[in-house]
Structure 1
Amino acid sequence: MKKISIKIGLLFFCLIFTMEVCLFFLLHQKIAHSRIEEELSALVNRGNNHRDVLETYYNEETIHHIALMEVKSVTEVVITDEQGKIIISSTDITNQIRQLIKAEKKDIPRSGQIIENDWKSKPYIATVTPFETGIKTGYVYMFQDTSQVKQLMKQLNKHFLIAGIATAIVTAIIILILSRFIAKPLIKMKEATKKLSRGNFSIQLDNKSNDELGELAGSIQRLADELNHLKTERNEFLSSISHELRTPLTYMKGYADVAKRDNLSKQDREHYLNIIMDETEKLTTLVTELIELAQLDNNAFTIHKEWFPVSEALKKITKKILPSFHEADITLVVICPENIQIYADPVRFEQILTNLLDNARKYSPNGTITTLEVVHENGDVKIAIRDEGKGIPKKDIPFIFERFYRVDKSRSRDLGGTGLGLAIVKELIYAHHWEIEVASEVNKGTTITIIARGESS
């Protein structure tokens, strides 16, 4: 549970901490460089001020006054003549000071020049400013002990270290909170997938965010709902098929036992044998349709499309099915222009319409009319089958193409259906890439429309 939040937290911490270290380093370098520049600039300005005083009031008193001023400050001054001879100094002359004074000077600007800026390894930083009076010409050297600068940098480093540690702690706390917040829905999804793997499909993921996590949670929820639906359908299917197989087998066994009796008349024996034959046919039809559905589910069948006249196919279909309509005293009306052709599998086309017409006959009372009408609209073929039967309740319409689903379950055996016909029709319609629509009103009839888009001529 904590692994993913720890991984996310460590990843974010490493990335952000690396960025912070780089930014802190750049900022430190910038501030340190600015502070050194300020110290050097202040040293140059101090030398320029002494130069201005010397040029205005050059005398022994002024020179001593300048030296005395520097004795009380953190900087030191050395005034030399043009040849480098020391006129006065506010500090003892060290070897480094002596070397800087004796160094060759070329084109030193009046505004002053930095002659030593290495504060890390040298004991002094230094500047030189030339002066010129009517009496004397020379140079004003300014020196500052680098220990002062180093102490300043040490304080700066200390402040940056404290700020860095504080920033790292605050960053770690924020990232810990954020990583747990980000990982929480992932942990829930992981637990949900565990439940799915164990066969528990009744999960609820309430992640309503509009980001990728929300989309992933929605996908898992839809998968769970579909698996739960499939599980329910499978259980219902197994229950239904067990019932459908057990019922004819029970009839067959029972009537076979009765037909074996010695004292049974020939007429009664034939009656019982006919019942057995009827149940055998029903069982054969059920098994055949189950095999066909299995083939449809596994795509173990092929659709062989070809162009053929719809009217010719309908004549062939009605010739086979018309006797059953006459027997039920139902009028079958076929309306189809002669010039309409359709691109379809002729065998499957006949199977679709036969199933739908047979279904209309079963659920229509005597003396009613069933109409099969074909129209050609905008390159589409629409085949509508309208009956005047009992109709389908609105709540049942979405489920009539499911396997073994029956609107009137109490009359299922009286009507002789297996509950698989419409399921086969739906699969065949989808295999042709067609559409099927159902409109129905209770006690007024049902209209089922097949729409073959762009497959007519």
Structure 2
Amino acid sequence: MKKLSVKLGILFFFIIFGLVTFMFFFLHNGITQSRVEEELTSLQSRGNSHRDILEKHFDQDTIAHVVLMESEAETDVVITNQDGQILNSSAPAEAFVKYLKGPLPSIPSEGRVIEGHWEDEPYISTVSPVEKDGQLVGLVYMFQDTASIHSMMKRLNEHFAISGWISVIFTIVIIIFLSKGITKPLLKMKAATREISKGNYSVSLPDTYDDEMGELAESIETLARDLQYLTKQRNEFLASISHELRTPLTYIKGYADILRKQDLPKEETEKYLTIIVDEANRLTQLVKELFELAKLDQNQFAIVKEKVDLHPFFEKIKQRLLPIFQESKIEFTVSCPPNLYVMADPLRLEQILFNLLDNAKKYSPNNGAVVLKALKHKNEVHIVVQDHGKGIPEKDLPLIFNRFYRVDKARTRSLGGSGLGLAIVKELVHAHGADITVSSTENAGTCFEIIFKGEVR
């Protein structure tokens, strides 16, 4: 019993069978009681009709006439005087004696039922009082054989049994189709997830369900697309790491071999050692950035926010970076109004800006310009890093924050970088609860904008 369709079928069967059984039982009891009450009411009405006749003429001829009428009917009548002595009956009175014995409680004028237990007794019975001038002069007992009621109930039970079996058969058929209808899309989803587990992410599920099933199918397809994207990203990531690690290691090993095997002039030795040191530094920086990304991915990167006054903070950055920009003959300007604050980790905010400004410097031509500015817009603080360099093609803009992504596909070493800087920037900005956007025009420049939401006073 491992199949879901079987489990659902059994569950539905017991639920529906239980409901149908309860309804049948309730209906059977209702019909039974109704039919018995109808028989008793009819018997009582017949007795009251005879009583009405006898109240007009309570004599032997009238009594004999009433008994004669009942002798041809399915019911029987016993007429007694006020003391319970039998005056006449439509059948031998011995069968009715036990119902006539004992004092009767006060009988209302409309009569009463004296025996209604049709299941255990051979007769059901009613009694109607015969009165003259307000005095009780006789009693009319009406009897009906319960065999007819038992026969009627037997036919009723047969009908219910047939209806019950038909209901069970229809229930089983409906449950089979219902359980298969429910589990069919689940089986398709199971097959799709099995394909995904094998690495086949090109799964497609029919979009025919406008309910939770449809949402689940859509979620599985989304999961497949995301896994396909992540697998592609992982492969590209591993290829990029291999490339980034292999390049400096190749330089270090190659020049180290040259220095070890050849007796070179001091000038060339210094040159090769400088290359080895530069590549080792590049390798160290790459490993450092990879560790930072790993910490960010695992939420192990601590962001200690405090109230930062951007005006002196920007001035500090300008003092540190201005000589570097001047060396590259690039104009570097800073603009920030006084008393403009953000809640941020100063060290991480500095790291973000250094990364963006370093990129701006690399891609700006000589005699170019780079601007760092901050401004307030409604309840937001915007920090802008803008250059007038070579710009970024529009097709590359959505991808520049991906790890190891470079606009320069040739990976020229003159521009340096590992392709991890902007990925780290994005993670750090989001860790602050801020957003970062980029806009660029080729050969006109690029603008990065960091948006801190919520005014800080």
- For normalisation by structure 2, the TM-score amounts to 0.90
Equivalent residue, structure 1, for 2:384:
384
Q: Distance in 1 between matches of 2:113 and 2:345?
A: 98
Q: How does 1:162-173 map to 2 (within 5 A)?
A: 162-173=162-173
Name the structure 2 match of 1:113: 112
Q: Which has the larger displacement, 362-371 or 179-188?
A: 179-188
Supply the distance in 2 between the matched residues of 1:312 and 1:41 (Cα, whole angstroms): 104
Bigger mean CA deviation after superposition, 305-314 or 279-288: 305-314
**Counterpart check, 1:442 vs 2:442:** yes
Give the drift of 1:53: 3.3
Percent sequence identity over aligned pairs: 51
- Alpha-carbon distance in 1 for matches of 2:154, 2:432: 82
Call closer, same or farther: CA 1:186–1:426 in 2, change over 3 Å: same
How far apart in 1 are the matches of 2:454 and 2:55?
Answer: 105
Q: Give the CA deviation at 1:132.
A: 4.9
Could you tell me which residue of structure 2 aligns to residue 350 of structure 1? Answer: 350
More divergent stretch after superposition (161-170 vs 219-228): 219-228
- SS of the aligned residue for 2:26 comes to helix
1:154-233 paired onto structure 2 within 5 Å = 154-196=154-196, 200-206=200-206, 209=209, 211-233=211-233
Counterpart Cα distance in 2 of 1:42 and 1:309: 100
Q: Output the amino acid matched with 2:447.
A: T
Moved more, 103-112 or 286-295: 103-112
Matches within 5 A, 1:238-317: 238-260=238-260, 262=262, 264-317=264-317
Helix, strand or coil at the partner of 2:107: coil
| 8 Å CA contact 1:185, 1:207 repeated in 2 | no
The residue type equivalent to 2:85 in the other structure is K
Q: How does 1:57-206 map to 2 (within 5 A)?
A: 62-95=62-95, 97-132=96-131, 137-196=137-196, 200-206=200-206
Distance 1:94 1:207, change over 3 A: farther
Deviations 1:51-75 (CA, angstroms, capped at 9, x unpaired): 3334456665544443333232211
Amino acid at match of 2:42: A
Q: 2:15 & 2:21 partners in 1: Cα distance?
A: 10
Deviations 1:106-135 (A, max 9, x none): 43233222221111111111122233579x
Structure 1 stretch displaced more, 257-266 or 333-342: 257-266
Deviates more, 1:305-314 or 1:409-418: 305-314
Q: Secondary structure at the match of 1:410?
A: coil
For 1:372, what is the secondary structure of its paired residue? strand
CA distance, structure 2, for counterparts of residue 39 and residue 299 of structure 1: 82
Q: For residue 304 of structure 1, what is the amino acid of its counterpart?
A: V
How far off is 1:23 after superposition? 1.9
Tell me if the contact between 1:343 and 1:455 (Cα under 8 Å) persists in the aligned partners. no
**Structure 1 pair 341–70 and aligned structure 2 pair: CA distance change class (3 A):** closer
For the residues of structure 1 that align with 2:13 and 2:231, how far apart are their CA atoms? 44
For 2:398, give the aligned amino acid.
P
Q: Is the 8 A contact 1:392 1:442 kept in 2?
A: yes
Structure 2 match to 1:332: 332
Extract unaligned runs of 5+ from structure 2. Answer: none
| Distance (whole Å) between structure 2 residues aligned to residue 336 and residue 102 of structure 1 | 116
Give the partner amino acid of 2:389: G
Q: Which amino acid aligns with 2:178?
A: L
Secondary structure (helix, strand or coil) at the match of 1:303 reads: coil
CA distance in 2, matches of 1:339, 1:55: 114
State the shift of 1:256 in Å.
3.3
Sort the Cα spacing of 1:339 and 1:108 in 2 relative to 1 into closer, same or farther, 3 A: closer
1:146-203 alpha-carbon deviations (Å, 9 max, x no partner): 1111111111122122222222222232233222222333334444444555555544
Which amino acid in the other structure matches residue 161 of structure 2? L
Specify whether residues 296 and 85 from structure 1 end up closer, same or farther in structure 2 by C-alpha distance, changes over 3 A only. closer
Change in CA separation of 1:285 and 1:82 when aligned onto 2, cut-off 3 Å: closer
Match of 2:413 in 1: 413
Q: Deviations over 1:310-338 (max 9, x none)?
A: 23332332333334433433222211234
| Paired AA for residue 437 in structure 1 | T
1:9 corresponds to which letter in structure 2? G
CA distance in 2: counterparts of 1:436 and 1:212, whole angstroms: 35
Alpha-carbon distance between aligned partners in 1 of 2:347 and 2:112, rounded to the nearest angstrom: 104
Cα distance, 1:446 vs structure 2:
1.2
CA separation of 1:299/1:412 partners in 2, compared to 1, >3 Å: closer, same or farther? Answer: farther
| C-alpha distance in structure 2 between counterparts of 1:54 and 1:312, whole Å | 122
Number of the residue aligned with 1:395: 395
Structure 1 unmatched ranges of 5 or more: none
Deviations 1:21-61 (A, max 9, x none): 22221211111111111111111111222233344566655
Instruction: Give the SS at the match of 1:375.
Output: strand
Secondary structure, in 3 states, of the residue corresponding to 2:406?
coil
TM-score by length of 1: 0.90
8 Å contact kept, 1:125–1:143: yes
